[in-house]
Structure 1
Amino acid sequence: MKKNDVKNDSRKDNNLMVKIATFIVDKRRAFYLIFALALVLCVISIPKVQVNNDISSYLPEETETRRGLTLMDDEFITYDTEKIMVTTITTETAEKLKDKLEKVDGVKEVEFENDDDHYKDSAALF
């Protein structure tokens, strides 16, 4: 080995990133164990996770936004909108299905017309 090679090796050993990388490589089994334990803990915790989809629940009660949302919920009725796609259907059958869907309890309106927005490639969108 040349004298310059020894200097380069000593500089590499003093580099913080090289020290961290060397530590991780030397202790890789411990890192595998830590990640495996973390994975098991995450899998066990899945049923305990609750998702809150109501973003307004984070608002304090006294804010104007919260009061406005509460007033809107009390005063106005909102209907859910659903889109249903049926494949391999003819336009005549789709028209009949539209009439059947309109007769279902709780259905206010079914939108279907024989155009590209509602019928294309033997698929009907209601």
Structure 2
Amino acid sequence: MADIASSSIVAIPAVVEETLQRLSSKSSVIATLAIERESLTVLASSGQTSVFNLPDSTTATPAATSPSTTGAQGIENFANMIGNYVNNTSKFICDMDEEDGLRLLRVRTKKLEFVIVPDSKYLFIVAHEVPA
């Protein structure tokens, strides 16, 4: 289950493992990702994690797709982008209504749908393939 964190020294909390197992049990899920909300550290992933691979956007040369920006680094780039997206969206919601809060985000592209579930400590991301 814990593809990313198994190669590092980060201990995966039981609640994260349980949540990822529950989320990945849905038949349409192709990948899951758990991120520690404050530090944006990738805690665990499962499935076809290549869908979370985001090349370094600061590199405008073909080197952006080199092996150095794929795999774990690409997923870390994705985690940072998602963290910023969630934080900005949360601020937007709170600015509209202080008593409201962000519960779920859905982002759908031509190929994939990402469901982002923020909680106080973690961000959980689920990827689904979009039916043709």
TM-score (norm 2): 0.23
Q: Could you say which structure has the higher strand fraction?
A: 2
Q: Which has the higher helix share?
A: 1
